[in-house]
Amino acid sequence: EAGVAQSPRYKIIEKRQSVAFWCNPISGHATLYWYQQILGQGPKLLIQFQNNGVVDDSQLPKDRFSAERLKGVDSTLKIQPAKLEDSAVYLCASSYSRGNTEAFFGQGTRLTVV
Amino acid sequence: DQQVKQNSPSLSVQEGRISILNCDYTNSMFDYFLWYKKYPAEGPTFLISISSIKDKNEDGRFTVFLNKSAKHLSLHIVPSQPGDSAVYFCAASVGYGQNFVFGPGTRLSVLP
Q: What is the pLDDT of residues B6-29, one digit of tens each?
A: 999 999 999 999 999 999 999 999
Q: Which of B4, B43, B97 sits opposite A105 (nearest CB)?
A: B43
Return the pLDDT at B41. Answer: 85
Q: What is the pLDDT of residue B100?
A: 87
Q: Strand pairing partners for B108?
A: B11, B86
Residue of A nearest to B107 (CA): A40
Inter-residue contact B91 to B36 (CB < 8 Å): yes
Q: Is B38 exposed, middle or buried (0-12, 13-18, 19+ CB in 10 A)?
A: buried
Q: What is the mean pLDDT of chain B?
A: 94
Q: For position A71, what pLDDT does the model report?
A: 85
Q: Which one of B10, B34, B37, B38 makes the best mutation probe of the A interface by having the most chain A beta carbons within 10 Å?
A: B38
**End-to-end Cα distance, chain B:** 38
Q: Is A101 a residue whose pLDDT tops 80?
A: no
Q: How far, in Å, CA of A14 to CA of A113, rounded?
A: 5
Give the count of Cβ contacts less than 8 A between chain A and B. 57
Are the C-beta atoms of B60 and B3 separated by less than 8 Å?
A: no
A97 CB neighbours in chain B (<8 A) are: 97
**Rounded Cα gap, residues B105 and B88, in angstroms:** 5
Residue A99 has pLDDT above 90, yes or no: no
Mean pLDDT (chain A) is 93
pLDDT digits (tens, 9 = 90+) for A72-85: 899 999 999 999 99
Contacts of A100 in chain B (CB under 8 A): 96-97
B interface test, pick of A31, A35, A101, A102 with most B CB neighbours within 10 Å: A101
pLDDT digits (tens, 9 = 90+) for B21-51: 999 999 999 999 999 999 998 999 999 999 9
pLDDT in tens, A8-46: 999 999 999 999 999 999 999 999 999 999 998 999 999
Q: Which residues contact A29 (CB under 8 A, 6 or more apart)?
A: A94, A95, A96, A104
Is there a cis peptide before residue B104, judged by omega within 30 degrees of 0? Answer: no
B97 band by pLDDT with thresholds 50, 70 and 90: low
* A95 contacts in chain B (CB < 8 Å): 97
Contacts of B93 in chain A (CB under 8 A): 101
Tell me, what DSSP letter sits at residue B17? S
Q: Does the CB of A42 have a partner CB in chain B at under 8 Å?
A: yes
